[in-house]
Amino acid sequence: MNKTLLSITAAVALSACNGDLKLREDNIDEIVNAMTLEEKAQLIIGVGMPGIPVDQPVIGASDAGKVPGAAGFTANIERLGIPSIALCDGPAGLRITPTREGDDQTYYCTHFPIGTLLASTWNTELVKQVGVAMGQEVLEYGGDVLLAPAVNIHRNPLCGRNFEYYSEDPVVTGNIAGAYIEGIQTNGVGTSIKHFAFNSQETNRMNNNALIDVRTMREIYLKGFEIAIKKSAPWTVMTSYNYFNGTYTSESHDLVTKVLREEWGYKGTVMTDWFGGANGAAQVAAGNDMLQPGRQTQYNDIIKGVNDGSLSIEDVNLCCKRILNLVVQSPTFKGYKYTNKPDLKAHADVTRQSATEGMVLLENNGALPMKNVKNIAVFGNAAYSWIAGGTGSGDVNRAYTVNLIEGLKNAGYTPNEALKTSYEQWTVSENERNAEANAERQKNWLPALLPSEMPVDKKLLSEQAKSQDVALIAIGRISGEGSDRNIDGDFDLSSAEKELIKNVTAAFHAVGKKAIVVLNIGGVIETASWKNIPDAVLCAWQGGQEGGNSVADVLSGKAYPSGKLTMTWPLAYTDHKSSENFPLGKKAAMLNMKFDGQTRTDEKDVDYTQYEEGIYVGYRWFDAENMSVSYPFGYGKSYTTFEYSNADVKVDGDIISVTVDVKNTGNAEGKEIAQLYVSAPSSELAKPVQELKAFAKTKALMPGESETLCLTLNTADLASFHPGENAWIVEEGSYTLKIGADSRDIKAELTADIKAKTTPVSRAFTAR
Ligand code: BGC
């Protein structure tokens, strides 16, 4: 008798003794007791994913037809009333298939701004509202869990998925992620904070071994997860693909059980990243409840492990309980009658507005907001093929993307038609030239090559300068899951792009007109060599499907930028310490699944990556080395100016409260982000020069208006992790509290005397 038949026979026999036993919120233990081992293994693994060349489970059953394009489903077990729930990507919106065979309706979803843009708002309330809107689409399209937010730390500017992630700093990351999760979950659907953890590169992402010391893990790479998870209780956590110090994250009991559950008190369900890890039994024993979307070998590992005694049935039962806990919370289980009609119109407004708030004004020599402008010479391919977001699972099947030209027209401007025609023709021919390469890239899930920048001759430039009121130059970048970025023509501008900025600006300046650069990018680029050439530089990021409208709102002054950078922009890529240990230009197939559980040690930065910089990631490194940067962490200009005064600090028990008055001293409305950095007294442990501990954003302030901001933290937030003591230690002494407009523009300094405090933790990660 084959295995499937055997399990069905056993299930039928059991169901006969269990009568009408069906899953309820209050009988999960009973249900688990009534499940056969095969059913348990089936529940733990998913139901497979069509079209992926790995061993798919043969025992899966689901309602997969319900939400086409969902990334995965849990298995349904009908006899016990266990329905299948749908797990769908994020994080820039719900990712499902937009059209269905034999069905006239469309199922497009709103493409909201990328994670980096949302984080650049530093506005947790706004991010929560974006989450509320996104979660409504999950609910109304029949989804149960959104596989988001993605919160890995920007260890290096060239990680291909940085656009999905928030920051180089864990405090920004954790607070923004917490707000996003809260917003989504108000709809009664779940989230999956990912990729837990140490997943800082895409090259060989399924098998890279991140070699990290324990202090760095705790203070940098786990901290953001810890803050978000404690703050907002995401329904699920997704472990990452990679190894760390020789163990797959999904097979690490230390990570998934000791730290996440026992230390942080996490009560939800843990799932793998898609096909991640090697050994199903080891994953279950680690406490990684769900192995998505499931492989036959993982199913076999579980059954074999229990039968030969190497995997305890208690561990299997625990995973099943936690999965059922998730199932009973889900809209599917509750019988929610979804409409397939989320409010896409309202959400288009949400994305349009939120995108403006995360844009960062890098330079402005009086060119913005634009005044007395009607006719615009728009240069740069990106303006005509606007990039809504990055590629891969973080992309969204949106109904449309408003490009910059359309956005400008909608705002009442007249972009030059002749330029438009030239750019459109150029783009068609460039796309033809790249067609073969792009077809190959698409097969490997890599972002398509963008057209190279169109050369513009001087005669055309001077005609444009004479006839048009202002020049806009759009520079675009794309990246995505499966590969990391490069330096040439990606981090650094191509020579054609540099020429374009130089020549356009010169031609417009020659006739007393201005040139403005708009960056339609998902991650950091080099700016030091050209940023002072144009009159203004606006980092618009990738703002989702309404991107062109959002940019036009900011250029025109209908809205204003109030974002600040959540990562340092160095003078050169190699200024980052991590650039010594990052897979530049190295190739490895995205789906490099070897499943043998062995770490490989052959190729530096591909098979293993040494996190040699330790805690000195981002501004922690640049500050320690006292290095100049192009833009510091936390930087961003406004259409107005702000003054800080009356800074004060109160320590009440464990709570430190810093207050400061922020006044709009300019002529336009604006919002300011105040950042609280702390410098610790010197101690046995080396400390960063300063670390962000809290931030707050003002409401919209009119000229002359002020607001008192309160930045609060707990004394425990001042702790560093001492690996020898295996404890979080707050050293006794005088701490300097710096209130900054950015990490290098400190407006006020205060001090607070803090008492020593030691908080021992479980002995996890003792290997290093
Ligand atoms: C990605 C995850 C995603 C999953 C499901 C994986 O390749 O790393 O972020 O949620 O696929 O699509």
Q: What is the mean pLDDT of residues 120-135?
A: 98
Residue 590, pLDDT score: 64
Residue 257, pLDDT score: 98
597-609 confidence digits (pLDDT tens): 677 878 999 999 9
Give nearest CA residue, ligand 1 atom 5: 71
Residue 638, pLDDT score: 98
Give nearest CA residue, ligand 1 atom 4: 274
687 close to 720: Cβ distance less than 8 angstroms: yes
Q: What's the rounded Cα separation, in Å, for the pair 400 and 410?
A: 15
393 CA → ligand 1 middle, Å: 6
657 CA → ligand 1 middle, Å: 40
191 CA → ligand 1 middle, Å: 13
Instruction: Judge whether residue 763 has pLDDT over 90.
Output: no
Which three-class secondary structure string do you get for 113-140?
CCHHHHHHCCCHHHHHHHHHHHHHHHHH
Of the residues 273, 301, 484, 717, which is catalytic? 273
447 close to 391: Cβ distance less than 8 angstroms: yes
Query: Any idea of the CA torsion for 667, 668, 673, 677, to the nearest 10 degrees?
Result: -20
Q: What is the mean pLDDT of residues 238-244?
A: 97
Give Rg (Cα) of the chain.
Answer: 26
Query: Is the pLDDT higher at 133 or at 2?
Result: 133
Q: pLDDT band for position 754 (50/70/90)?
A: very high
Omega within 30 of 0 (cis) for the link into 83: no
Q: Is 369 left (phi over 0), alpha (psi -120 to 50) or beta?
A: beta
**Percentage of residues in the chain having pLDDT higher than 90:** 89
Residue 684, pLDDT score: 84
Query: Is the pLDDT higher at 585 or at 159?
Result: 159
Burial of 682 (0-12, 13-18, 19+ CB in 10 A): exposed
Residue 170, pLDDT score: 98
Q: What's the rounded Cα separation, in Å, for the pair 335 and 330?
A: 9
**Chain centre to alpha carbon of residue 107:** 24
Place of tokens 């299930």: 11
92 close to 396: Cβ distance less than 8 angstroms: yes
- Please give the single-letter amino acid code of residue 373: V
547 close to 386: Cβ distance less than 8 angstroms: yes
Instruction: Judge whether residue 266 has pLDDT over 50.
Output: yes
Instruction: Judge whether residue 193 has pLDDT over 80.
Output: yes
3-state helix, strand and coil shares in percent for the chain, rounded to the nearest 5: 35, 20, 45
Instruction: Judge whether residue 751 has pLDDT over 90.
Output: yes
762 CA → ligand 1 middle, Å: 30
Give nearest CA residue, ligand 1 atom 8: 273
**Chain centre to alpha carbon of residue 708:** 31
550: number of Cβ within 10 Å:
29
* Residue 247, C-beta contacts closer than 8 angstroms, at least 6 positions apart: none
SS3 of 106, please?
Answer: strand
Q: Candidates 239, 274, 292, 481: which one to mutate for ligand 1, based on the most atoms within 8 Å of Cβ?
A: 274
Among the listed residues 434, 561, 532, the one whose alpha carbon sits nearest the alpha carbon of residue 122: 561
Residue 3, pLDDT score: 44
176 CA → ligand 1 middle, Å: 20
Q: Candidates 241, 393, 397: which one to mutate for ligand 1, based on the most atoms within 8 Å of Cβ?
A: 393
Q: pLDDT band for position 595 (50/70/90)?
A: low
Instruction: Judge whether residue 732 has pLDDT over 50.
Output: yes
Omega within 30 of 0 (cis) for the link into 688: no
Question: Ligand 1 site: residues with CB under 6 angstroms?
Answer: 71, 89, 147, 194, 273-274, 393, 481
Q: What's the rounded Cα separation, in Å, for the pair 716 and 735?
A: 13
- Whether 273 sits among the annotated catalytic residues: the reply is yes
Q: What is the mean pLDDT of residues 43-52?
A: 84
274 CA → ligand 1 middle, Å: 6
- Between the CA of residue 647 and those of 445, 651, 702, 736, what are the distances in Å? 51, 14, 21, 13
Which atom of ligand 1 is closest in space to residue 164's alpha carbon? 9
Instruction: Judge whether residue 74 has pLDDT over 90.
Output: yes
270-313 confidence digits (pLDDT tens): 999 999 999 999 999 999 999 999 998 999 999 999 999 999 99
Among the listed residues 56, 25, 112, the one whose alpha carbon sits nearest the alpha carbon of residue 349: 112
Burial of 574 (0-12, 13-18, 19+ CB in 10 A): exposed
Q: pLDDT band for position 445 (50/70/90)?
A: confident
Q: Is 245 left (phi over 0), alpha (psi -120 to 50) or beta?
A: left
Q: pLDDT band for position 8 (50/70/90)?
A: very low
User: In what helix (H) or strand (E) does residue 430 lie, and over which residues does it extend?
Assistant: helix 417-433
Nearest 5°: the CA angle 226, 718, 153 is 40
Residue 62, pLDDT score: 65
Pairing of strands 608-610, 209-211: parallel
265 CA → ligand 1 middle, Å: 25
Give nearest CA residue, ligand 1 atom 3: 393
Give nearest CA residue, ligand 1 atom 11: 274
197 close to 225: Cβ distance less than 8 angstroms: yes
Q: What is the mean pLDDT of residues 135-153?
A: 98
150 CA → ligand 1 middle, Å: 10
The torsion angles phi and psi of 708, rounded to 5 degrees, stand at: -90, 120
463-472 confidence digits (pLDDT tens): 999 999 999 9
Across 280-413, the runs of DSSP E, i.e. the strands, are: 360-364, 375-379
Q: What's the rounded Cα separation, in Å, for the pair 731 and 759?
A: 12
Residue 60, pLDDT score: 58
The torsion angles phi and psi of 171, rounded to 5 degrees, stand at: -70, -40
196 CA → ligand 1 middle, Å: 12
Q: What is the mean pLDDT of residues 498-510?
A: 98
Place of tokens 């020049």: 471
Which three-class secondary structure string do you get for 576-641?
CHHHHHCCCCCCCCCCCCCCCCCCCCCCECCCEEECCCCCCCCHHHHHHCCCCEEECCCCCECCCC
Instruction: Judge whether residue 4 has pLDDT over 50.
Output: no
Look over the chain and give the mean of its residue pLDDT values, rounded to a whole number.
94
649 close to 656: Cβ distance less than 8 angstroms: yes
